[in-house]
C-alpha cells in the first residue's frame, strides 16, 4: 500500500468470526505508526470491499482498531493470530476502546473465547421513532438495540437513512463507532440480529455479516446472563455476562 512505509511489506490476514465480519489484520512491531492506521485501513478496504473492518496487532500485547474503536469480533480474530504466533492457546492482551484486559482461550483450531475483564457497559432506554429502544454503551462503541417489533429491511438506502437519523437524534455523531441493531425473536427463545455499524475515523458503514459488540449489546438489553445470538451469516456467537463487569464472547473463527 502506498503512503504506509512502515507497513507496506506486511501481509494482511483476513479473519472471519461466525462465518462473517471479515477483519483485516496485520502485525506491526510497536505503536510508532498509529497516525497511519486510519489511512491504511481506508485504502485497503477501498480495494477489498468485502473487508468490513481493520486492526493492527502491536507486538503480541496490544490490538488497535484503525478507528480506535472497540470490536468484539476483531478481538477474537486478534486472539487467534496471537495464539498462532506465540504458540500459546491461552493468554491476554489490551485493545483499543477498552481500558481492561482481553483474556483469550483457543478451545479448538476454529473456536476462540475472549473474556473482557472490567468492561464498563451501561444501558438506558431511549425513544426511537416513537418506540422504546435500548442504548448500550460499551465505551469504544455504542449500540442502539431496537425492539423486536421494529423489523429490519435489507435495503441499503433504508438502513443507511435510519442509522443516520438515529445517530443524529441521539447525538452520537462524536462517538468512535455507532451501531444500530435490529433483533428478531424466534422459536425456543432464539435471537437473531441485523447490525449496521458506522466507524467515525475511517467513515466505514456496513450492514455487518456478524457483530460481536452488537451481540454483547443485545445480551445487555435482554437482561439475561447468557444468550446464543444468530448472526446474519446464520452462525452463532455465544455471549455471557460473568461476575461483576466481565463479559464473554465465543464463536468459530476462520482465516480466508
Instruction: Work out the percent of the chain whose per-residue pLDDT is above 90.
Output: 89
Tell me how crowded residue 176 is: count the other CB atoms within 10 A of its CB: 18
- pLDDT at position 8, please? 53
Cα gap 235→140, rounded to integer Å? 25
pLDDT at 97 over 90: yes
User: Going by DSSP bridges, is the β-strand pair 62-65/226-230 parallel, antiparallel, or unpaired?
Assistant: unpaired
Task: Give all domains of the chain, ordered by start, each with its CATH number.
Answer: 13-117 (3.10.310.10), 122-241 (3.10.310.10)
Q: Average the pLDDT over 199-227 and give the result.
A: 97
Q: Average the pLDDT over 221-244 and give the result.
A: 95
pLDDT at 6 over 80: no
Q: Average the pLDDT over 109-125 and give the result.
A: 95
Helices marked H in 69-211 — which ranges? Answer: 72-86, 156-169
Q: Between these two residues, 178 and 149, which has the higher pLDDT value?
A: 178
Please provide the size of the chain in residues: 256
- Given a contact cutoff of 8 angstroms between Cβ atoms, the answer to whether 256 and 115 are in contact is no
pLDDT at 2 over 60: no
pLDDT at 3 over 60: no
- pLDDT at position 244, please? 84
pLDDT digits (tens, 9 = 90+) for 132-174: 999 999 999 999 999 998 999 999 999 999 999 999 999 999 9
- pLDDT at position 4, please? 47
Q: Average the pLDDT over 189-198 and give the result.
A: 94
Average pLDDT over the chain, rounded to whole? 94
Amino acid at each position: 500500500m502506498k503512503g504506509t512505509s512502515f507497513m507496506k511489506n506486511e501481509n494482511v490476514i483476513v479473519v472471519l468470526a461466525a462465518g462473517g465480519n471479515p477483519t483485516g489484520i496485520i502485525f506491526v512491531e510497536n505503536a510508532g505508526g498509529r497516525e497511519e492506521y486510519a489511512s491504511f485501513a481506508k485504502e485497503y478496504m477501498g480495494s477489498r470491499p468485502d473487508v468490513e473492518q481493520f486492526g493492527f496487532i502491536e507486538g503480541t500485547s496490544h490490538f488497535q482498531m484503525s478507528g480506535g474503536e472497540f470490536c468484539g469480533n476483531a478481538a477474537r480474530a486478534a486472539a487467534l493470530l496471537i495464539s498462532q504466533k506465540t504458540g500459546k492457546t491461552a493468554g491476554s492482551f489490551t485493545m483499543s476502546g477498552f481500558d481492561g484486559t482481553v483474556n483469550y482461550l483457543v478451545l479448538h483450531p476454529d473456536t476462540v473465547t475472549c473474556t473482557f475483564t472490567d468492561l464498563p457497559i451501561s444501558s438506558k432506554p431511549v425513544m426511537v421513532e416513537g418506540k422504546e429502544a435500548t442504548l448500550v454503551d460499551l465505551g469504544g462503541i455504542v449500540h442502539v438495540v431496537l425492539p423486536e417489533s421494529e423489523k429490519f429491511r435489507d435495503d441499503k438506502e433504508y438502513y443507511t437513512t435510519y442509522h443516520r437519523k438515529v445517530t443524529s437524534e441521539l447525538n452520537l455523531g462524536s462517538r468512535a463507532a455507532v451501531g444500530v441493531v435490529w433483533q428478531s425473536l424466534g422459536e425456543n427463545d432464539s435471537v437473531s440480529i441485523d447490525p449496521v455499524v458506522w466507524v467515525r475515523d475511517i467513515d466505514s458503514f456496513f450492514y455487518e455479516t456478524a457483530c460481536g459488540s452488537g451481540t454483547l449489546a443485545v445480551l445487555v438489553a435482554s437482561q439475561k446472563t447468557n444468550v446464543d445470538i444468530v448472526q446474519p451469516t446464520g452462525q452463532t456467537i455465544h455471549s455471557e455476562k460473568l461476575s461483576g463487569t466481565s463479559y464473554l464472547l465465543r464463536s468459530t473463527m476462520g482465516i480466508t
